[in-house]
Amino acid sequence: MREDSRPLGVVYTPPEVAGPMVRLVIDPLARGKSAAEILAIRVCDPAIGAGVFVLEVVNALADHLVAAWNRDPRAPGDVTGARHAPDAQDRATWPDVARHRIAATCIAGVDIDPAAVAATRAALTGARAPAPALDTDGRAFATREPATASLATGLEPTASALADSIQCGNALELDWRAAYPEVFARGGFDLVVGNPPYIRQEQLGGKAALEKFASYDGVADLYVYFVELAHQVLRPGGAYCLIIPNKWLTAAYGRPLRTFLAAQRSVDGIADLGRSPLFADADAFPCIVWGTTGRADDVGCSAPITAVRAEIGATVADVLASAIRDLRMAARSRGESRERLRWGDGPWHIDPPSERALLDRLERDLPPLGDIVRERPARGVVTGCNRAFVIDRATRDQILGEEPAAAALVRPFVKGRDISPWAVERTERWIILVDRGTSLDELPVVRAHLAQFRDALEPKPAGWVGAWRGRKPGTYAWHELQDPVGPLIKARAPRLLYQDIQTAPACALDLEGDAVPDTTVWMLPTADRFLLAVLSSPLYGWYAKRRFPPALNGAVRPKREYMRTLPIAQPDAGARHAIVDMVERRLAADRVDGPGLERSIASAVLDAYALSSAERRLLTTR
């Protein structure tokens, strides 16, 4: 996220995202209603930010209000004061009249940022924002242009009215019934829309207000609680539509939220937009979740959940238009209608029907990697100051030339970009591996080298106020690495190395166990050549794209909890031996023979997993 004046965690929503979201839930709510019924609708954005969602709501409800007035020849006399049948000149004023009336009566919102509140109140006095949206048939409307001049309707929302409806405060701590007594006198809001803040709660202060939520998890992102909050402030039968990061669908911290939503049976649809860069200045990997609260048990249990995983480049309007047209999603949108009972506290995966059978078979019939390799994968070291601990060849040679005993501490240092398929690319880079409790009294040359950077190496003292030139607080000495060295690095045992961010399968065998990786590399404590073949195969790459968290530009992040669930085939001894033999030959091969062996290994891996011809064709899909 770019550095600017916005509060921490705020990602403002483009109108081309907010507009279709609002139409998705506003149109079913307001279509065909009378003017009085439309003006009785109450909509809330609990984190208004720049006010984009509330302005889109104003535009959408105003369209329905004008349609209602057109159906009633007497309207809108009660609004304009007209005493004659409306003519063309009267009707030309209706869109502005409608927007001002909606802004004055139907909108509510909260934000912790006073500047956002002030900006939204100011915007609502004009209540004219361009709004790309969907019509009732799911077709995209053209972008609406703002009016060129303000009409003096006399119906603009007053400052006092907006002070009551657009409030400054912490939505997660607000007493909503006291803040909006008239709304809760009728049961709550009709609709909640918005884009809650994205921020890990450990970056916040106290957690007391969060612990009261059923979806609470000690490391959950703040947006999780806004999903539950929507259920708290909606009336029974009210609707919500929120855009949030997609991590909650599969992450461990999302389990309480998934459990809550499964119990509520409220979710109507999810659109995973993780492949679409909707927010130019934030790595949000968003999804849209929408639903209806307060369903009867029989209705909630039988209603399917619409799920779609958007293709790269798809617009929000395209994706949601597919949802409107077809509950089961158009095949080109790679969506499906999922039985509600499949969505419990476990990961919520959005799989197109063509792939779902294969994924289900792999996960049902094969043991996970965590059962094959019991010891957990581990990441590399954190120095806290690379310029002190990471050295080039000249510095290494100088230190070891003067102090041979330091050789035990100086080891090759590798980053994610050094991990190639099958082998680690050795670089002219080393690390001085000074673990906790390591004395440098007998290594004065090493100590003198590190002392050059002492100001940058000192841990921040407890209670220090203000800027600090050194490293984060901790119990380590100034000459030690910031975090303890893990047992996999100390052991110098053979292991497999793979990148923390993968654009393609890349797993390498470190046979000597001498390389020390940084945190962009994972270590798997095994030298199993069959696993090396699997983790270097196109099948692994295909599976990772569908199960591991996304990163930028189509990459994935094989985090520990996800990697441990990777299904591992169990071929017979003969097939395993043949693959291991090919891997050994690949490790020793040159550039000429390598590609042919890789193709043979990839094919043998597919045989080990017993993929049919049709299933193999799936691997060529994006």
> Which range in 240-254, 304-318, 442-456, 584-598 is most confidently predicted, on average pLDDT?
442-456
* Candidate CATH numbers 3.40.50.150, 3.20.20.70, 1.20.910.10, 1.10.150.110; the one for domain 15-350: 3.40.50.150
> Which range in 62-76, 228-242, 542-556 is most confidently predicted, on average pLDDT?
228-242
Average pLDDT of the chain, as a whole number = 85
Alpha helices in 339-443 (DSSP H): 353-365, 369-372, 386-389, 393-402
- Give the Cα separation of 65 and 105 in Å (integer): 13
Return the pLDDT at 494. Answer: 93
* pLDDT band of 319, cuts 50, 70, 90: confident
Of 294-303, 497-506, 516-525, 576-585, the poorest mean pLDDT is in 294-303
Tokens of 175: 């007493």
350, 289 Cβ separation under 8 angstroms: no
Q: What is the pLDDT of residues 461-499, one digit of tens each?
A: 998 999 999 999 999 999 999 999 988 888 889 999 999
What is the dihedral sign for C-alpha 489, 493, 494, 496? Answer: negative
- Give the Cα separation of 335 and 318 in Å (integer): 13
The angle formed by the CA atoms of residues 618, 621 and 622, to the nearest 5 degrees, is: 140
| Nearest one of 485, 450, 276 to 378, comparing CA atoms | 485
410, 511 Cβ separation under 8 angstroms: no
| Nearest one of 167, 58, 195, 175 to 111, comparing CA atoms | 167
Return the pLDDT at 299. Answer: 52
Compute the chain's Rg from CA coordinates.
29
- Give the Cα separation of 546 and 355 in Å (integer): 10
Q: Where are the domains of the chain?
A: 15-350, 352-373+528-622
Please give the residue that has the higher pLDDT: either 206 or 551. Answer: 551
Q: What is the pLDDT of residues 69-98, one digit of tens each?
A: 988 766 655 555 555 566 677 778 888 889
* pLDDT band of 279, cuts 50, 70, 90: low
**Residue 211, H or E segment:** helix 208-211
Return the pLDDT at 276. Answer: 64
| Nearest one of 337, 330, 322 to 138, comparing CA atoms | 322
- Give the Cα separation of 342 and 550 in Å (integer): 23
Q: What is the pLDDT of residues 330-366, one digit of tens each?
A: 333 344 445 676 788 889 988 888 898 999 999 999 9
Residues in the chain: 622
Strand, helix or coil for residue 80: helix
- Give the Cα separation of 509 and 580 in Å (integer): 13
Surface-to-core class of residue 236, CB atoms within 10 Å of its CB (0-12 exposed, 13-18 middle, 19+ buried): exposed
Strand, helix or coil for residue 235: strand
Reading across the β-sheet that carries 430-432, which strands appear in turn?
Answer: 390-391, 430-432, 410-414, 516-517
pLDDT over 50 at 149, yes or no? no
Return the pLDDT at 198. Answer: 83
| Nearest one of 68, 176, 170, 61 to 111, comparing CA atoms | 170
- Give the Cα separation of 68 and 95 in Å (integer): 12
CA dihedral 426, 427, 428, 431 (to 10 degrees): -80
The mean per-residue pLDDT over the stretch 589-610 comes to 91
Q: What is the pLDDT of residues 33-58, one digit of tens each?
A: 999 999 999 999 999 988 999 999 99
359, 351 Cβ separation under 8 angstroms: yes
Return the pLDDT at 148. Answer: 25
Tokens 């440098």 belong to 440
pLDDT over 60 at 253, yes or no? yes
For the chain, count helices (H), then strands (E).
27, 17
Tokens of 445: 């040359």
CA 126, distance to chain mean position in Å, is: 34
Surface-to-core class of residue 12, CB atoms within 10 Å of its CB (0-12 exposed, 13-18 middle, 19+ buried): middle
* pLDDT band of 129, cuts 50, 70, 90: very low
pLDDT over 80 at 303, yes or no? no
618, 358 Cβ separation under 8 angstroms: yes
pLDDT over 50 at 1, yes or no? no
Please give the residue that has the higher pLDDT: either 144 or 177. Answer: 177
Return the pLDDT at 157. Answer: 61
pLDDT over 90 at 15, yes or no? no
Return the pLDDT at 335. Answer: 44
Q: What is the pLDDT of residues 356-402, one digit of tens each?
A: 899 999 999 999 999 999 999 999 999 999 999 999 999 999 999 99
449, 389 Cβ separation under 8 angstroms: no
* pLDDT band of 206, cuts 50, 70, 90: low
Return the pLDDT at 352. Answer: 82
Return the pLDDT at 71. Answer: 86
* Axis crossing angle, helix 88-105 with helix 52-71, rounded to the nearest 10: 140
Please give the residue that has the higher pLDDT: either 204 or 190. Answer: 190
Please give the residue that has the higher pLDDT: either 402 or 203. Answer: 402
Tokens of 492: 């110098």
Return the pLDDT at 338. Answer: 55
What amino acid occupies position 404?
Answer: P
322, 308 Cβ separation under 8 angstroms: yes
- Cis preceding-peptide flag for 86 (omega within 30 of 0): no
| Nearest one of 311, 465, 307, 478 to 389, comparing CA atoms | 478
Return the pLDDT at 384. Answer: 94
Of 97-106, 204-213, 418-427, 430-439, the poorest mean pLDDT is in 204-213
pLDDT over 60 at 5, yes or no? no
DSSP labels for 10-27? --PPPHHHHHHHHHHHHH
